Structure 1
């Protein structure tokens, strides 16, 4: 591959990373969906799935030749460029979202509600024959999401262990096209805190979140792939319910900022329309 062609390919990957990062900052829009639409989802999952914790042994033993071979297997340049794009979008978008939440709270939260409701519907439509079992998992997920987001009032705090756990859970967005990483941080009541940490470039919190995400990649990727392959209906139905139930927290936050129907109704509809457009592009 010539240098010019390689630079062009890396620029394309970086732009895809920017789009994925911008979407992952917004609850309800999945960076995985953007990866699917832009044609890099399978490459991304293949690269993540090829990550082997045993590679660290090669470094510790000074076997850098074997370590270099491991990097080639996981498509290392692709991951580095893509993550650079995602990180850039995180840093830029964090300030924008914080401003919107601070000065246009009801409109922003209503938009998020529309995004999540529409995303849940799209995710459930992936189940061709849900049956009674699928409906049962849908109900279980809805109940779990409703009560789980209610725990936000207890507030687990923003200690480094909590942030580490949040990073582990949020990594699901890279594996499941229908789930947003920001949505997971929202459920765990860390969303606005992590936005502020990104804006102020608070390294301890950012690094802890990233290490948690890396740990989640190593632990969860193969498990999630197995569940999707062997228990897809139950998995998708439960996740759909979880998303629907979690709108409780958003509704409460929106209500604290104003009247959802009067001030946020049009933004709620706009969120639904955005997901509809994304799904239309994906299917085309």
Structure 2
């Protein structure tokens, strides 16, 4: 495996890690690391034409047509992160939420700056898209979670919806699952290896990904700056969800019998040692974005 493949695999790991945490999107990582456009175009290329190429020119030509090596390498990194980091991030979210949120808060602020500077000219269209994206993301972030019975059809539909959010910078697929009351069942299935539930979720995600990636790819090629402004707004609005300091309004018992927060509202921080550590982690999160940006440029 050459170094470019290793870097692509690591980008997949970063995307997968981000997707596990409610409020953070793997699409944000894809954009920061410079693979967002290629990712959308590669997913869009999986279509009937690729199937015709398979029968007409053989597997090698079809694999090249769908950019298979790119998708396999990136997907392997995402899958590894989902399987290996799900337990770790869940533990941090349960026991050290302020510190984990602080890290991602800094990461998202820097991501907003990174994405915003790609827009060469701010016209009224871009400003309107920015504000609209921020309002939509903030509204979603402030919505109260619900509880839905995880039937096969519901899990399939949740996969279709969540994957659309996961490839949108600023809209977290994990948080969409949390709003639907399905975050714990899906994360629990990852930890326990529930093949049936994960297979159903993956099938729904595959369908959603095929359809939604085509829309996003078309917008990226025809209305790039307006789309970038909208996505920047999505990320800015998601800061409402990622704000580290929260007051718990109500709790619930998860599948392991643990009491966890259910409904929370943002609050002002208490200036103490934990506050200082949180600020340091915010800075580290911002630096991670700058480092990923540098690495992405140097490995193009």
Please give the TM-score of this superposition, normalised by the length of structure 2. 0.70
2:286 aligned to which of 261, 271, 275:
275
Match of 1:3 in 2: none
1:184 to 139, 163, 173: 173
Q: CA deviation at 1:267?
A: 2.3
Assess, with a 3 A threshold, how the Cα gap between structure 1 residues 255 and 110 changes in structure 2: closer, same or farther: farther
Which deviations, in whole Å up to 9, do the C-alpha atoms of 1:34-57 show, x marking residues without a partner? Answer: 5864x7666645532321146668
- Corresponding position of 1:51: 46
- Work out the CA distance in 2 between the residues paired with 1:69 and 1:240: 37
Cα drift, residue 32 of structure 1? 6.4
- 2:269 aligned with 1:261: yes
The structure with the greater share of residues assigned to strand is 2
Tell me the residue number matched to 2:24.
28
CA distance in structure 2 between the aligned counterparts of 1:122 and 1:53, rounded to whole angstroms: 36
How many residue pairs match? The answer is 272
Separation (CA, whole Å) in 1 of partners of 2:70 and 2:134 = 37
TM-aligned CA distance change 1:65 to 1:240, over 3 Å: closer
CA contact (8 A) 1:135 1:237 kept: yes
**Contact residue 53 and residue 218 of structure 1 kept, 8 A:** no
**Alpha-carbon separation, structure 1, partners of 2:125 and 2:31:** 30
1:160 and 1:264 map into 2 onto residues whose CA distance is: 43
The CA distance in 2 between the partners of 1:115 and 1:235, in whole Å, is: 21
**Alignment partner, residue 237 of structure 1:** 229
Preserved contact between residue 111 and residue 264 of structure 1 (Cα < 8 Å):
no
The alignment status of 1:73 with 2:65, answered yes or no, reads: yes
- Which is worse superposed, 270-279 or 167-176? 167-176
Kindly report the root-mean-square deviation, in angstroms, between the aligned alpha carbons of the 2 structures. 3.8
Structure 2 residue runs of 5 or longer lacking an equivalent are 249-260
Task: Tell me how far 1:120 sits from its aligned partner.
Answer: 2.8
Asked whether the 8 Å contact 1:29–1:275 carries over to 2, the reply is: no
Give the equivalent residue in structure 1 for 2:83.
91
Q: Which moved more, 1:256-265 or 1:128-137?
A: 256-265
**Once structures 1 and 2 are overlaid, which stretch shifts more, 205-214 or 273-282?**
273-282
Specify the SS of the correspondent of 1:152: coil
After the TM superposition, which residues 99-248 of structure 1 pair with which residues of structure 2 at under 5 Å, given as runs? 99-156=91-148, 158-171=150-163, 179=169, 183-189=172-178, 190-248=182-240
> Which one has a larger percent helix, Structure 1 or Structure 2?
1
Q: What is the alpha-carbon distance in structure 2 between the residues aligned to residue 53 and residue 253 of structure 1?
A: 49
SS of 1:255's equivalent in the other structure is strand
Distance 2:197 2:91 in 1: 20
**CA deviation after TM superposition for structure 1 residue 198, in Å:** 1.2
Shift, 1:250, TM fit: 3.9
CA deviation map 1:208-263 (0-9, x unaligned): 33223322332122221221222233322222223333333444983327976234
Q: TM-score, normalised by structure 1?
A: 0.74
Provide the C-alpha distance between the structure 2 equivalents of 1:151 and 1:35, rounded to a whole number of angstroms: 26
